[in-house]
Amino acid sequence: METRILQPISLTEGSVAFSEEDLALLHALQIAPRAAWSDLADVLDAHPATLARRWERMRSSGLAWVTAHLRGDPAAMVLAFVDVECELGRREEAVAALARLPEVQTIDIGSSHPDISLTVFAASILDYAENAVPRIAAQPGVLRMDAHLCTRLHAGGHTWRLAALNRAQIAAVSELARVEPFAGRLPPAALDLLPHLSLDGRATAAELSRVLGRSAATVHRQLTRVMGSGLLSFRCEVAQARAGYPVACKWLAKVPPGQHAAAAAALAGLRNIRLAASTTGRTNFTIMMWLRSVADVMTGELTLREKVPGIELVESVVMIRAVKRVGVMLRADGTTTGEVVSAPDLDPLTELVD
């Protein structure tokens, strides 16, 4: 499998503070990542040109970005959470090598064991066992691995919200997020859009047509089908610390059998939740929160026990920093470098393609 590194966007140096207007725009784009500025203008009470400038300022500074990635539905592919222990003094070497692997979509560095937490995509259990696992294990500095396969993804980064809009605004923007479902089989040429959408999830049909050398009408039709197929998840991401959540904590937990759906529903009301997933392994439920301080870890644990009766929190790990998030490379401060590592090969997912 060949790894392709897409060309980074142009970034400017320095930091840009999030104003209330910035947060409102980002919340809107979390709900409807591809919404037109003209459609968002009335909801946010701002001129379309002002919204475009505001977005470009944040995007070019690496503070916010829109990307598209494989949805990670366990019913259609393998989604695995892999904890990696590194050889003494070789963690950074291992991180750099793992970041280049397409199947390793997200990398978080822990403050204790495990050294590194990975989110891994694979097309099938065979692809995971015969390709993804050996490639991860073969990277320099990797000493041992512990994997949890996701059986249900209840919440993820694509569902996390900044809570900057009121209910009426949320309802209005949610209408803008609706897409026409497409139940047919995608033409093979439609998959050519995916690497470019991972680099810029707001890329227009006109922009994509110039890159691909196709007519705008053809690309518009292909883009509509890709979006309606459910193959991709579009998300607006933000630099974690700059958004006011510098601490990430992951819990490995046990939830009583038959209570996973109820647990997920109870956690859905918590704005800090970045991940809630049922898994295989010695624990059966994985949770991650973005928090404002390390002191909030204890508060988070108390909240989890209150919301989910019977939950057993087996292990918690505070993350020092994120290196890669669904293919997008990050700096130490959480801003994006603008570089995207291409997704895994889609060949095994050809049931969606003509």
Read off the pLDDT of residues 268-301 as tens digits, 9 standing for 90 and up. Answer: 989 899 999 999 999 999 999 999 999 999 999 9
Query: CA-to-CA distance for 177 and 117, rounded, in angstroms?
Result: 31
- Tokens of residue 289, six digits: 């929160």
Q: Of 189, 187, 186, whose CA–CA distance to 214 is shortest?
A: 189
* β-strand partners of 234: 68
Peptide bond into 114 cis (omega under 30): yes
DSSP state of 351: G
Query: CA-to-CA distance for 312 and 282, rounded, in angstroms?
Result: 12
Query: CA-to-CA distance for 19 and 310, rounded, in angstroms?
Result: 40
- Tokens of residue 210, six digits: 């110039």
- Tokens of residue 128, six digits: 């995971």
Q: What share of the chain is helix, strand, coil (3-state, %, to 5)?
A: 35, 30, 35
pTM: 0.91
Q: Sign of the CA dihedral 17, 270, 231, 130?
A: positive
Q: Of 2, 6, 29, whose CA–CA distance to 193 is shortest?
A: 6
Angle, helices 216-229/205-212, rounded to nearest 10 degrees: 110
Residue in this structure with the two tokens 């991972």, named with its chain if needed: 198
Confidence of residue 59 (pLDDT cuts 50, 70, 90): very high
Mean pLDDT over 44-71 rounds to: 96
Strand duo 104-110 + 78-86: pairing: unpaired
Q: Are 253 and 304 in contact (CB under 8 A)?
A: yes
Q: Compare 48 and 14 and report the one with higher pLDDT.
A: 48
Query: CA-to-CA distance for 230 and 228, rounded, in angstroms?
Result: 6
Read off the pLDDT of residues 127-156 as tens digits, 9 standing for 90 and up. Answer: 999 999 999 999 999 999 999 999 999 999
Q: Which phi and psi (to 5°) does residue 247 adopt?
A: -110, 130
Q: Which phi and psi (to 5°) does residue 115 adopt?
A: -65, -40
Residue in this structure with the two tokens 């490995």, named with its chain if needed: 252
Q: Are 57 and 31 in contact (CB under 8 A)?
A: no
In percent, the amount of the chain with pLDDT more than 90 equals 83
Read off the pLDDT of residues 240-277 as tens digits, 9 standing for 90 and up. Answer: 999 999 999 999 999 998 999 999 999 998 989 999 99
Q: What is the amino acid identity at position 348? A: P
